[in-house]
A and B are shown apart, each in its own frame.
Chain A
């Protein structure tokens, strides 16, 4: 009896041990990729992205698993990425905005360079010029993904109520329309000097820079004529009741809030704002048209557009399998049909070539038309200067709007920070 008990126990232990060992082996095989993602929670891309991650995990079960770490706060997310890279710990996969400040990431050997994979054929999947925009010193350490244009949104209902039959194409027409809008009790434009980058006003300024300086405006030194003239127009936007009285010191909530409430007639933001207008202000959504800013300079029909989000990954030089797994996942996310799914669900625009006919949102269609109709496109100012210049932008704008600085002094303040 004892012998039988011993035998049964031995067999049980052996079986359990074998099962455990197999389990361990499977686990060892599986590569886990951590992805701190902003496309979670209330984000318009959250649902579609989650579906794609689930599908990827199912297709690669036991081999690769992508774990999404929810980071719904944009500023917090950027801080986390910066701190991680500075500390030498790079997330397996992450997204970033590419600008002169984040170009410092390219100095880190910890980030993966995608140029080899892109040259191997993958590069053809991207829209012309987008990979070049993300190339620094021959390296592509941030893969272009989401793109955006930021046209002027205008509420045609308010224009009609004020007796303005069409959206102003020139600065003179703008002043005329603004006068009629004010007389009818509406705020002509939404502006803001607050927040970390005075976002809406920074975009207005970028449009005027394009209008005065043309497609190569940023090639000219900071402080040249176009910068001052654009500042003069921006100052006019803050004068004579052309914006709300809370614009100085106001943040994105103030600027967007007036447009959503049907109080202001013109506002600037990207396509990610469409969902919010649609759900929170359906009447404003229906009345909204988009287009370039009224031409204040010689260049008409210019648009402000940029790489909104880039994919990046840890180099994982000592773990080529993990590096390959990251590339496989990013390739999955940049597949034409997958990008089309996210675009259709969220209205977002992408740097990858895809069929956008599935986009049914009316306002998104207007965005695409505005992008196609643009005479040329330039990035916004934030995309071409370091973050301290943009921090200064809001402060200098406040000073100018309060009458404490001239347009020349406004530009000089920005130049001083840039020269540092």
Chain B
């Protein structure tokens, strides 16, 4: 009787969440999947064309370049941003003088609008008046049109995002505070250097959090849109295009069937990349899931 009552209560609590989840995630997802198989401009009737939109996208050079760029974004997030954030977190965890101020400074960009940051970097990269070229010129180094050259545009946009490590740094820093101090004391008695302590104690102890942050950073990379849209609109010559931007442009042109096919590919690829990376990083670490 008590068990039945519990089930009823559980169902009662689940219903609102399930309703919201079905209404605002499952239904839209099914709608996106369904309409991705149609030719539709959002106003006139839909026309079923099977996998036509997918075929078109997967033979379009710009879209394939966008997939490649998204993967570069994801890898940069996971393997440049997170190592940088880890390095800073480990240094701050040693509580050097002014560590609290530094922690705040590193985190500050996260409370500033992404639009403002993108605009600021656009000004920094300006080849005529930007700070970066002026700085390089001081050392006799010739400047570039950072956002206007195909070779430098993508790294320039990625750099202005990846450099902001504060969000992940705070998560990793919090994880380091859970490691008992006695581990380090014992290691010190055994003659371990600071680097050895970080390598053999800290990193293995926060492995679960590292996997989580890498996953998150890569997920952000796969769905990246804002900075590219604001700084380059995907240019020059599509060199910075990403799937989110392709989706936006398709919607803007009322090609909603193609836009939804782009969205579906984005979801599928994102899921595959995230699952793969988690499998890879969690290999040989049975407890990593429980740590997270």
Residues from chain B with Cβ under 8 Å of A105 in the complex:
43
Beta-carbon contact of B128 and A248 below 8 Å: no
What is the distance, in angstroms, from A96's C-beta to the closest C-beta of chain B? 13
Q: Interface residues of B, CB < 8 Å — how many?
A: 29
Contact between A395 and B236, CB atoms less than 8 A apart: yes
In the complex, whether A58 has a CB less than 8 A from a CB of chain B is no
- Check B237–A194 contact: CB distance below 8 A: no
* Selected interface stretch from A7-15, A173-181, A312-320, A383-391: A383-391
Among residues 36 to 76 in chain B, which have CB atoms less than 8 Å away from a CB atom of chain A?
A: 41-44, 56, 62
B228-259: CB near A (< 8 Å → 1, else 0) gives 00001111111000000000011011111000
CB pair A244–B128 under 8 Å, yes or no, is: yes
How many chain A residues sit at the interface, stated as a range, is: 35 or more
A324 to B213, CA, bound (A): 59
For window 383-410 of A, CB contacts with B under 8 Å fall at 386-388, 391, 394-396, 398-399, 401-402, 404-405
A278: Cβ under 8 A from any B Cβ? no
Q: Is B150 in the interface zone, CB < 8 Å from A?
A: yes
Give the distance in Å from the alpha carbon of A272 to the alpha carbon of B238 in the complex: 30
Whether A85 and B234, one on each chain, are in contact in the complex, defined by CB atoms closer than 8 angstroms, is no
Q: Does B147 contact A (CB under 8 A)?
A: yes
B residues in contact with A200, CB < 8 Å = none
A104 touches B254 (CB 8 A): yes
Bound-complex Cα distance A419 to B42 (A): 20
Residue pair A248, B148 in contact (C-beta under 8 Å): yes
Kindly list chain B residues whose C-beta atoms are within 8 Å of the C-beta of A405: 237
Q: Which of A86, A101, A194, A404 contacts B232 (CB 8 A)?
A: A194
Complex Cα spacing A247 to B238, Å: 16
Contacts of B249 in A (CB 8 A): 387-388, 391
For window 241-285 of B, CB contacts with A under 8 Å fall at: 249-250, 252-256
Q: Beta-carbon contacts of A80-116 to B below 8 Å, as 1s and 0s? A: 0010011000000000000001001101100000000
Nearest CB on A from B96, distance (A): 40
Known: A193-B235, A398-B235. A246 touches B126 (CB 8 A): yes
**Contact at B235–A395, with CB atoms within 8 Å?**
yes
Smallest Cβ distance from B285 to chain A, in angstroms?
A: 44
Most chain A CB within a 10 A radius of its CB, from B145, B150, B253: B253
Q: Which of chain A's residues have a CB closer than 8 A to the CB of B254?
A: 82, 101, 104, 387
Q: B34 contacts the other chain (Cβ, under 8 Å)?
A: no
Q: Is A387 a contact partner of B233 (Cβ separation < 8 A)?
A: no
Report yes or no: A249 in contact with B253, Cβ–Cβ below 8 A: no
Nearest B residue (CB) for A396: B237
Contact A387 B43 (CB under 8 A): no
Q: Which residues of B contact A420 (CB under 8 A)?
A: 56
A86 and B252 in contact, given A108-B43, A193-B235 (Cβ under 8 angstroms):
no
Contacts of B145 in A (CB 8 A): 245-246, 248-249
| Most chain A CB within a 10 A radius of its CB, from B56, B238, B256 | B238
Q: Chain B contacts of A404 at CB under 8 A?
A: 150, 237
Tell me the minimal C-beta distance from A199 to chain B in angstroms: 12
Task: Report B-chain residues with C-beta under 8 Å of the C-beta of A282.
Answer: none
Give the distance in Å from the alpha carbon of A247 to the alpha carbon of B127 in the complex.
10
Q: Does A195 contact B (CB under 8 A)?
A: yes
A388 and B250 within 8 A (CB): yes
Q: CA of A405 to CA of B238 in the docked complex: distance in angstroms?
A: 13
Q: Are B43 and A402 in contact (CB under 8 A)?
A: no
Interface centre among A108, A247, A248 (most CB of B within 10 A): A248
With A195-B233, A245-B128, A250-B148 as contacts: A386 and B153 at CB distance below 8 Å: no
Tell whether, in the assembled complex, residue B236 and residue A402 are in contact, meaning their CB atoms are under 8 Å apart.
yes
Residues of B within 8 A of A248 (CB): 145, 148-149, 236
Instruction: Look across to chain A and name the residue whose beta carbon is closest to the beta carbon of B144.
Output: A245
Q: Is the CB of A249 within 8 A of B252?
A: no
Name B153-177 residues within 8 Å CB distance of A: 153
The reply to whether the CB of A299 lies closer than 8 angstroms to some CB of chain B is no
Do A402 and B150 have beta carbons less than 8 Å apart? yes
Residue of B nearest to A248 (CB): B148
**Taking the complex as formed, is A377 at the interface, i.e. its CB lies under 8 A from any CB of chain B?**
no
Give A194 to B236 CA distance when docked, in angstroms.
Answer: 8
Docked CA distance A24–B100 (Å): 62
- Chain B residues contacting A85 (CB-CB under 8 Å) are 42-43
Task: Give 3 closest A-B pairs by Cβ, nearest first.
Answer: A398-B236, A249-B148, A86-B42
**Sample (18) of A-B pairs whose CB atoms are under 8 Å apart:** A86-B42, A101-B252, A101-B254, A104-B44, A107-B41, A193-B235, A194-B232, A194-B235, A195-B233, A196-B252, A245-B145, A246-B128, A249-B145, A387-B253, A387-B254, A388-B250, A399-B237, A405-B237
Extra inter-chain contacts (14) besides given A245-B127, A254-B126, CB under 8 Å: A104-B42, A107-B41, A108-B43, A193-B148, A195-B233, A245-B148, A246-B145, A247-B148, A248-B149, A249-B147, A388-B252, A394-B233, A395-B235, A420-B56
